[in-house]
């Protein structure tokens, strides 16, 4: 049992699930077991902070002495850093596994820096997204060999960065750059839609209630951290009108962009969830009004916009209840709260007096927050299968 097992055992005894003799026997057995050797939070924080500082220091050292080194010395230094960090991690694997994970992670980060510096060294800057591709392949290889979360996190971040960089290069090659191609909403809406769907795919990595596998937990955290920023970007770009619309992007390029933006998260969802990936299809359907507004007059859609985002929050809550995942319920509730607050500030507050608007805002925080919290707790309890609190 984990921390607090005595309180849970007492609660079970009081509920009649365990008789007093059985509870005492369990308590005696647990106390007789050797305590597990767990690292305390300060140690983990120190290891993580040390890894970040080492990575920053190495990059600073290389950049400071870069001009003073010969080309052969530069390449040898980059190779020595990558090999040395991974070799040091392998040496301490048995003695201190968290340090090994940190050194392997720093080594993978250094690999990315080394790839770009080596490209600069040998003047291989013609197509810079290939550096991200090589970095992603290195992170994927590291994940396949080590099964450690830093490599998976880097792969989940660098992979989309490579696709977006390839898209930017393609847009730059057919128009006057991203600004020049922004008359076609595909230039900005396609990558943002891909990021939003990819965040949902990461957030939906856990497929049921209970403990989550470490790899899926990493994706869950990445999806949670990226969902709200991606949603904000989607809202901004679908309501943004360029000054003078230039010619649209070529049809083939637009079709390829949307195929990758929508297809990649769907394929990942199928890999993670199998047949239970259909909510991502619902999310694509939810994106369609935004696309219609992006290709429309770019005027403020008024109340419809806020209703549209409220529906998105409700869909996220329903997905969490269906899968038994409380974090999706919490994200959906947060999205609804932000939507209601934004609607009040932008649509209602200006029509009221100064004092009335402040009173209304206070009532909204108190009453609306209380009601939303009650609903959130009810849905979280339903998601966890414990009934209504």
- For 190-200, write each residue's pLDDT tens digit: 899 999 999 99
Domain for residue 86, yes or no? yes
Residues 223 and 338 in one domain: no
Domain for residue 8, yes or no? yes
Q: How confident is the model at residue 93 (pLDDT cuts 50, 70, 90)?
A: confident
Contacts of 145 (CB under 8 A, 6+ apart): none
Residues 68 and 155 in one domain: no
**Torsion 203-205-207-208 (CA) sign:** negative
Say yes or no to pLDDT of 259 above 80. Answer: yes
Mean pLDDT of 241-262: 75
pLDDT at 41: 58
Residues 271 and 360 in one domain: no
Domain for residue 65, yes or no? yes
Token reading at 246? 């230039």
pLDDT at 325: 87
Residues 114 and 103 in one domain: yes
The span from the CA of 286 to the CA of 302, in Å, is: 17
Contacts of 150 (CB under 8 A, 6+ apart): 101, 102, 104, 105, 108
Residues 289 and 265 in one domain: yes
Mean pLDDT across the chain, nearest whole number?
79
| Contact yes or no for 158/112 (Cβ under 8 A) | yes
Q: pLDDT tens across 326-337, in order?
A: 889 989 998 988
Residues 173 and 79 in one domain: no
Residues 122 and 202 in one domain: no
Residues 21 and 66 in one domain: no
Q: End of a domain among 272, 299, 326?
A: 299
Q: CA separation (Å) from 228 to 82, 199, 272, 319, 335?
A: 35, 9, 22, 17, 8
Residues 83 and 171 in one domain: no
Of residues 375 and 4, the one with the higher pLDDT is 375
Q: How confident is the model at residue 3 (pLDDT cuts 50, 70, 90)?
A: very low
Domain for residue 208, yes or no? yes
The span from the CA of 30 to the CA of 285, in Å, is: 52
| Contact yes or no for 272/204 (Cβ under 8 A) | yes
Which range of residues forms the domain containing residue 355? 301-389
Q: End of a domain among 69, 91, 126?
A: 126
Domain for residue 269, yes or no? yes
Domain for residue 239, yes or no? yes
Residues 381 and 345 in one domain: yes
Residues 266 and 194 in one domain: yes
pLDDT at 110: 82
Residues 262 and 227 in one domain: yes
Mean pLDDT of 318-327: 88
DSSP state at residue 183:
G
Q: End of a domain among 110, 126, 142?
A: 126
Which of 30-39, 44-53, 74-83, 230-239 is predicted with the least confidence, judged by mean pLDDT? Answer: 30-39
Q: For the chain, what is the domain count? A: 4
Domain for residue 133, yes or no? no
Domain for residue 143, yes or no? no
Q: How confident is the model at residue 118 (pLDDT cuts 50, 70, 90)?
A: confident
């Amino acid at each position: 049992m984990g921390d607090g097992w005595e309180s849970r055992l007492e609660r079970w005894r009081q509920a009649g699930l365990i008789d007093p003799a059985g509870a005492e026997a369990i308590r005696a057995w647990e106390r007789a077991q050797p305590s597990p050797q767990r690292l305390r939070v300060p140690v983990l924080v120190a290891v993580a902070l040390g890894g970040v500082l080492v990575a920053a220091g190495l990059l600073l050292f290389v950049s400071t002495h870069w001009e003073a080194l010969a080309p052969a010395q530069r390449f040898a230094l980059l190779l020595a850093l990558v090999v040395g960090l991974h070799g040091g991690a392998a040496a301490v694997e048995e003695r201190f596994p968290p340090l090994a994970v940190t050194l392997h992670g720093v080594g993978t980060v250094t690999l990315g820096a080394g790839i770009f510096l080596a490209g600069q060294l040998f003047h291989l800057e013609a197509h810079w997204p290939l550096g991200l591709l090589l970095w992603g392949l290195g992170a994927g290889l590291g994940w396949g060999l080590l099964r450690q979360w830093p490599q998976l996190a880097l792969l989940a971040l660098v992979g989309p960065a490579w696709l977006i960089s390839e898209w930017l290069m393609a847009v730059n090659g057919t128009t006057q750059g991203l600004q020049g191609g922004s008359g076609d909403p595909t230039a900005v809406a396609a990558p943002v839609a891909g990021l939003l769907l990819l965040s949902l795919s990461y957030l939906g990595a856990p497929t049921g209630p209970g403990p989550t596998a470490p790899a899926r937990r990493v994706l869950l955290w990445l999806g949670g951290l990226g969902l709200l920023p991606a949603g904000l970007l989607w809202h901004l770009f679908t309501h943004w009108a360029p000054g003078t619309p230039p010619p649209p992007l070529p049809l083939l390029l637009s079709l390829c962009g949307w195929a990758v933006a929508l297809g990649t998260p769907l394929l990942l969802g199928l890999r993670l969830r199998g047949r239970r990936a259909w909510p991502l299809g619902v999310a694509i359907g939810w994106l369609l009004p935004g696309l219609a507004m992006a290709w429309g007059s770019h005027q403020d859609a008024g109340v419809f916009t806020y209703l549209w985002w409220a529906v998105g929050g409700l869909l996220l809550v329903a997905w969490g209840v269906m899968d038994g995942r409380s974090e999706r319920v919490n994200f959906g509730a947060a999205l609804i709260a932000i939507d209601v607050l934004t609607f009040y500030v932008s649509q209602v507050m200006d029509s009221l007096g100064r004092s009335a608007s402040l009173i209304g805002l206070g009532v909204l925080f108190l009453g609306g927050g209380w009601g939303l919290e009650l609903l959130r707790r009810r849905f979280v309890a339903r998601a966890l299968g414990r009934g209504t609190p």
